[in-house]
A = this chain, B = another copy of it.
């Protein structure tokens, strides 16, 4: 059945097209500009086609978010790899994370502000999500000093996420951003000597 295979290929191709166009549109004009009508127009199909691929708009956002996590994990891994000492690796990871959020604001929104229906709680957690978290775990492990690496990674991730979001929404002064990141890195690395 060659025709059926071709159809599935075309469907898969269109599936990816929807995700790509949604992401481009979001990065260009923000998620509030990503309506099902505009999206349908851009992919040159009618609205109902979107719903034959995704359960709804939220599912499209979630698909974009998943793509974002994969890229984030890659960026974090690259940052860690190009560093020498554990301290430098941690600093590189934090800066890579902040840079990713700054360069892809709407993508970051999809990943961590919108799209609640991604299963973060195990066991159904998608691989890209686990990979991104694993990078935090690897980077922080050197500073564990007997403490739980998972907890430390969670604190590191949450902290840098909070700083990034509050900075991006104007809640924290933008010109202190670098100093805040440096302070955070100090705290994450320094507390190993204590307790």
Q: Which residues of B contact A165 (CB under 8 A)?
A: 158, 161-162, 165
A70 and B158 CA atoms in complex are apart in Å by 25
Q: Does A7 make an interface contact (CB < 8 A)?
A: no
A152 in complex: contacting residue of B170, B171, B173, B183, CB < 8 Å:
B183
Residues in B with CB closer than 8 Å to A158 are 159, 162-163, 165-167, 172, 180
Give chain A's interface secondary structure class. helix
A interface residues, Cβ below 8 angstroms from B: 112-113, 116, 120-121, 147-148, 150-152, 154-155, 157-167, 169-173, 176, 179-180, 183-184, 186-188, 190-191, 193-195
Instruction: Beyond the given A154-B163, A155-B187, A191-B191, please list 17 additional residue pairs across the A-B interface where CB-CB is below 8 A.
Output: A112-B169, A120-B171, A150-B176, A155-B163, A157-B166, A158-B163, A158-B166, A159-B162, A160-B162, A161-B165, A162-B164, A162-B165, A187-B187, A187-B190, A187-B191, A190-B193, A193-B193
